Chain A
Amino acid sequence: MRNSSFLSFVAKEWRHILRERRTLAMLFAMPLALVMLFGYVISSDIDHTPVAVLDSSHGDPLARRLVRKLAAADQFRIVDNVRREADIDGAFKKGTVKMVIVIPPDFGSDARRYGGTSVQLVTDASDLNVATTIIGYASGIVADLNSELNASHGLTGGVSPVRTNVRMMYNPELKSAYMFVPGVIALIVMIVAAMMTSVTLAREKETGTLRLLTVSPLKARTIVLGKVLPYFVLTAVNTTVIMLLGTLVFGMPCYGSLWGLALLCGLFILAAIGLGILISSVVKTQQSALTSSLLGLFLPTMLLSGFIFPLDNMPVALQWACQAVPATWFIEGIKGLMLKGQPVSDLWLPLAVLGAMAAVLVGLALWLFARGERPRG
């Protein structure tokens, strides 16, 4: 190969790259987004998590000292909405508190005796990442208190006047299989409903068979619906299988309404299908449909939905981005229904958001598709 022909070959390749704006943007934006994401998630700790103190010692000086230490920590924000043991469940379900610190009666006097006393750290373990992190912080504060107490008594460690006693609610055995099930469903729905839909429509475009369909008396929406319906069914079956696996094999509980669950899944699948059609209406080939689905749907579903990284750990801007990811609402809904046994009426927000997302995405996708292929000369 001669030099000039080699150079022109390279130049041609550059033109391909530079003219494919979307890919180019993605090539730059993706690593940037990933680096920022990982950077933030890994470096940022949980801040100002709402915790409540249930003080049965009624103003014991040592208990007040512990509360002051907790309040002074950046990680915690003391809220005052748990007055009785019976309030704990409601506060967790409303999500207004992430941990309740239960201080026993005679806290101060027991702590001075041989054998000491213990505080109970009650957490909402349906969000296991957050639960374990905040327990770590709280235990650290208690250990700090212990060393202060020991120092004031001239002791050099080894004895713990105050021990901690952890209680994980909603997921007492800390089964992480539970935690993965909603996330795995979200991912599978994205693969089957969104990616396959986008690829199959892109394939019709690529092979030209879409033209045979558009020139036929079939209406655009008939074509789209006819193509996505099988994927809807496929996804619904898939979802059911994963849930059955979760409950039968991993012992995941399902306390809530099955109808609510079906509604939630249906809306999420619709939203995913809308995304798939949307992708297929802007891409021309199967390959780009695949790439767009992967980068545009999978990564957010994995990273910005609370599936892998807890939402509470993220900076505010990223938390806003998470709100735009359908899987976030889906996972919240599933945890509420299956693990916490919340009534459907409590989950009106995730359901409404998913419903609105599904309606807007499918509507927009159909409109874009019906508008047809972009004009060519």
Chain B
Amino acid sequence: MEDRNIIVQHLTRRFGDFTAVDDLSFDVGRGEVFGFLGANGAGKTTAIRMLCGLLKPTSGRAEVAGFDVAHKPEQVKRRIGYMSQKFSLYNDLTVGENLQLFGTIYGLKRTELRERMAEMYRKLEMETLKDQLVGGLPPGWKQKIALSAAMLHRPEVLFLDEPTGGVDPLGRRRFWELILDASTEGTTILVTTHYLDEALYCNRTLIMADGEMKALDKPRTLMREYGAKDMDDLFEKLTRR
């Protein structure tokens, strides 16, 4: 089996004269936690949309979970999970209804779905919450449930697009524990964040600015290489030019 789960080669996307993503190339290994760092408008979201099969690249290519994103988006979509702080769950549905909905959309059979939901409730200790409306839950819980919904179908690759916005530090720590758990189980994780301290949880981070890749390595290696005292300092050194 291919041990690289994401392969990106010269990926470029232009909107008219504006180049949102400029010649991006990298690989992500199976089970790796890969961080995508950049300010708003750096091109992270455009890159993720291409990798999810939502947007066709202008040039270059990308393969996710073994399928070309431009030519086999349906195959890609079936094998990935997507979660974001902004694009969350349905507030007017209960926890169980949300999980059921997304499980079903991803083609889980009824018994399979029931088992996985039960397992998830146990793991997150949220048996009591399953009949509550998502809208009334605190953000930390919403986040965990959204992550659960995105992982219910056991995706090969999980895209987390700024997953921890608006969550307190403790909640973020707990959330990352779940992410790291998933990666030890073999799920490949690509995460964008602008909480720079979170980059330290990643095996490798890619730093983007103005649609271009500025650096790619282990976070600590990068900090040493650029003589940065922490991630903020590194980020500033790399993106200010």
Contact = CB atoms under 8 A, between A and B. Distances in A.
B34 interface: no
Contacts of B54: 214-215, 372
B87 A216 contact: no
A223 to B, nearest CB: 10
Range for the number of chain A residues in contact with chain B: 10 to 19
A92 B47 CA distance: 65
Contacts of A207: 88, 90-91
Contacts of A211: 82, 84, 86-87
Contacts, number: 57
Contacts of B84: 208, 211
Contacts of B80: 215
Range for the number of chain B residues in contact with chain A: 20 to 34
Contacts of A25: none
A216 B77 contact: yes
B197 interface: no
A375 B105 contact: no
Q: With a 10 A CB-CB cut-off, give which of A212, A213, A214 has the most chain B CB atoms.
A: A212
Interface in B30-53: 41, 43, 45-46, 52-53
Nearest to A216: B105
Q: With a 10 A CB-CB cut-off, give which of A207, A216, A376 has the most chain B CB atoms.
A: A216
A376 B102 CA distance: 26
A157 B52 CA distance: 88
Contacts of B52: 215
A218 B105 contact: yes
Contact of A217 (B43, B86, B90, B107): B107
Contact of A377 (B20, B74, B87, B91): B20
A179 B166 CA distance: 56
A217 B91 contact: no
Given A207-B91, A372-B54, A377-B41, A215 B77 contact: yes
Interface in B63-92: 74, 77-78, 80, 82, 84, 86-91
Contacts of A377: 15, 18, 20, 41, 43, 46
Nearest to B45: A376
Contacts of B106: 216-217
B89 A216 contact: no
Interface of B: 15, 18, 20, 41, 43, 45-46, 52-55, 74, 77-78, 80, 82, 84, 86-91, 102, 105-107, 159
Going nearest first, the 6 A-B pairs with the smallest beta carbon separation are: A208-B87, A211-B87, A215-B82, A375-B15, A217-B77, A217-B78
Given A209-B88, A216-B105, 4 more contacts: A208-B86, A212-B82, A215-B159, A375-B55
5 contacts: A207-B90, A208-B84, A211-B84, A211-B87, A212-B102
